[in-house]
Amino acid sequence: MTAPWVELSVEERPGKILFAITDCGSGIDETIVKKMMQPFFSTKEVGRGTGLGLSISKGIIESHQGTLEYDRSSPNTRFVVSLPV
């Protein structure tokens, strides 16, 4: 079994900066991807989370004119934050 890992990368593009957060997961099921940014959506059992983390993060990022997106093209689980410079 391989040890868990998380990777953070930063890339500058014209007018914006991208932060990519990738972990050792094999991605997220498409049925979950469609709902995961909705407030109170959780895959955890009752009492084990509020389902607010991604929706709050998305709101904060958007309030700074940025975006938070799940990268379906990655072989691992990857989210990309884009913010204007």
In a domain, 49, yes or no: yes
- pLDDT at position 81 over 90: yes
- In a domain? residue 75: no
Q: Is 12 part of a structural domain of the chain?
A: no
pLDDT at 75 (0 to 100):
96
Mean pLDDT confidence for 18-45: 91
In-domain check, residue 35:
yes
Mean pLDDT of the chain: 93
Q: Which range marks the domain in which residue 49 is found? A: 31-66
Instruction: Please tell me the predicted confidence (pLDDT) of residue 58.
Output: 96
In the chain, alpha helices (H): 30-33, 53-63
Domain presence at residue 18: no
Condensed to tens digits (0 to 9), the pLDDT of residues 36-56 reads 999 888 888 777 777 888 999
Residue 25 is assigned to a structural domain of this protein: no
Number of domains forming the structure of the chain: 1
pLDDT at 84: 98
Q: Is the CB of residue 70 less than 8 Å from the CB of residue 28?
A: yes
Residue with tokens 């957060």: 21
Q: Is residue 36 part of a domain?
A: yes
Q: Is residue 56 part of a domain?
A: yes
